Structure 1
Amino acid sequence: MSDKGTAVTGAVYAARVQRLLAAAVEEELPAIRRAAELVARSFAAEGIFYVFGSGHSHMFGEEAFYRAGGAVRVCPILKSPHMLHEGAVHSTVLERETGHAEDLLKGYRLDGETDVLLIASNSGANPLPLEVAEVARGRGVPLIAITSRRYATAIDRPGPRLHELADVVVDNHCPPGDALVELGPELPDCGPSSTVVGMTLLNAVIVEALGIQLRRGETPQVFMSANMTGAESHNSRSAREISTLVPHL
């Protein structure tokens, strides 16, 4: 994407994000619906929707978890060394190493009969999310991926990609390298895109799953904003129902 003759501004970035988001949502609606079917089936079985990402992608788990307007039966997979706050550089090193998945998943049920797992990985090529995917597959857990096929196939590295392992792939359509705006010769591009697009796709899957439940005559479980009337008792009751399965409550 060339920016010759174009001012580098926040407005340019925002316009490109909007176009990318619109295209991703339109083209990925069938995948969103397939992913939502898996999540709705898990909710109906009193299962848990697990969400995992490492590095910046750990935010996907936090976005879906204990969220005002979000589904109740969600558990993020959060281990501090694989996030950012204890060392961003080190978390990147760990993401690219092998052998961490089993330890990472300790304390999370991941039952293939009832649960479902979503992994967010923009490149879809780093060892950690791939190994988590393999462990989930070994347990029979349905796997949803939010990733960029374009990025994954542009990386010159041997081995599988996340989109090749998942049962359902929701493609964020982001470019290799993630950034949308060119700054100039010999400078890295700026303006990341995968989080804003991916979070929308994630929430679209959740809302679609709740809608499927409603259409089937089931009662969706949703957290309320803590400042709304009745939220304290509603959220406390909902949290108690899943407290033995979700270590982060």
Structure 2
Amino acid sequence: MTDLGDRVRSLLDDLDARSAPAIRAAAELLLDAIEADGIVHAAGAGHSLTLVCETFYRAGGVAPVRPLWDPSVLPLADALGSTEAERRPGLGRSVVQNAAPTPPDVAVVFSTSGRNPYPVEIAQECAARGMAVIAVTSPDASVRADARAETRLADHATVVIDTAVPPGDVVYPLGSPHTAAVSTILASYAWSRLLAELDDLATARGVDLPRWVSANIPGGDAVNERLLARYRDRIPELSPRPM
């Protein structure tokens, strides 16, 4: 197991080396959007929806984040169906059209391979609307992935954050890996690094970021209620839905 820990730490170091400038550039895009009262639209499919959850309504996370998704890409209800949906042309474009984001909004799209139509179309459609697009992806994995779309997610991005995920995702055992996928670990770390960079930039600019706090600490509910009142009209997922 020590070998696994060493491998993961090595990949985290690779991510730092490859993506430090991109993470700073992405933080500047996010801060510009938030200062202009824009919304951050976070997208992903399959297990990349884990990263969308990481961005949304999360303690320490910025409040103006809207999940950009379709229920069919969630594998918990229908695993094979979610794979089919991610590969279906037109779905990603329709998701963006339904949400109708516009500048100064910004999009963050998570996809390790970046080769399926769903994330590619989301990035493409957001870029066509004049929005900045941050791609959190692995160029190494993308090169080896089946090309199910004519372009890649990275082709439509303003900034590309390289997660350093190896082709195939798995890293254990060393030399002949077949288990222990690392894409969630690396992309989650990339997002946390982005939040830390955003915090530093906001401090330098004198901007008070709207951030969620844990509902399990004293006063947390009151802070979050003020943010809910501020953003729920533009982020439907923050409003209760009728049973």
Aligned equivalent of 2:241? none
* Paired letter, 1:203: S
Q: Secondary structure at the match of 1:207?
A: helix
- Deviation of 1:199 (Å): 0.8
Quick one: which of 185, 195, 198 aligns to 1:209? 198
Is the 2:4–2:173 contact (alpha carbons within 8 Å) kept by the matching residues of 1?
Answer: no
CA distance in 1, matches of 2:228, 2:49: 21
Aligned equivalent of 1:3? none
Q: Within the alignment, does 1:143 sit opposite 2:133 as a pair?
A: yes
* Paired letter, 1:246: I
* Paired letter, 1:137: A
Identify unmatched segments of 5+ residues in structure 2.
239-243
Aligned equivalent of 2:43? 52
Q: Within the alignment, does 1:121 sit opposite 2:111 as a pair?
A: yes
Q: Within the alignment, does 1:163 sit opposite 2:154 as a pair?
A: yes
Aligned equivalent of 2:120? 130
* Paired letter, 2:7: R
Is the 2:138–2:166 contact (alpha carbons within 8 Å) kept by the matching residues of 1?
Answer: yes
Aligned equivalent of 1:243? 232
- Quote the RMSD (CA, aligned, Å): 1.8
User: Would you tell me which structure has more helix in proportion to its own residues?
Assistant: 2
Identify unmatched segments of 5+ residues in structure 1.
1-9
Quick one: which of 4, 11, 20 aligns to 1:20? 11
Is the 1:49–1:75 contact (alpha carbons within 8 Å) kept by the matching residues of 2?
Answer: yes
Q: TM-score, normalised by structure 1?
A: 0.89
Quick one: which of 188, 196, 203 aligns to 2:185? 196
CA distance in 2, matches of 1:21, 1:95: 27
Q: TM-score, normalised by structure 2?
A: 0.92
- Deviation of 1:183 (Å): 8.3
Q: Secondary structure at the match of 1:219?
A: coil
- Deviation of 1:184 (Å): 8.9
Aligned equivalent of 1:95? 86
Aligned equivalent of 1:7? none
Is the 1:108–1:246 contact (alpha carbons within 8 Å) kept by the matching residues of 2?
Answer: no
* Paired letter, 2:21: P
Q: Secondary structure at the match of 2:37?
A: coil
Same amino acid, percent of matched pairs: 32
Q: Secondary structure at the match of 2:233?
A: coil
Q: Within the alignment, does 1:75 sit opposite 2:66 as a pair?
A: yes
* Paired letter, 2:180: G
Q: Deviations over 1:8-61 (max 9, x none)?
A: xx4332321111012212331100000010000011011111110000001111
- Deviation of 1:107 (Å): 4.4
* Paired letter, 1:242: Y
- Deviation of 1:194 (Å): 0.9
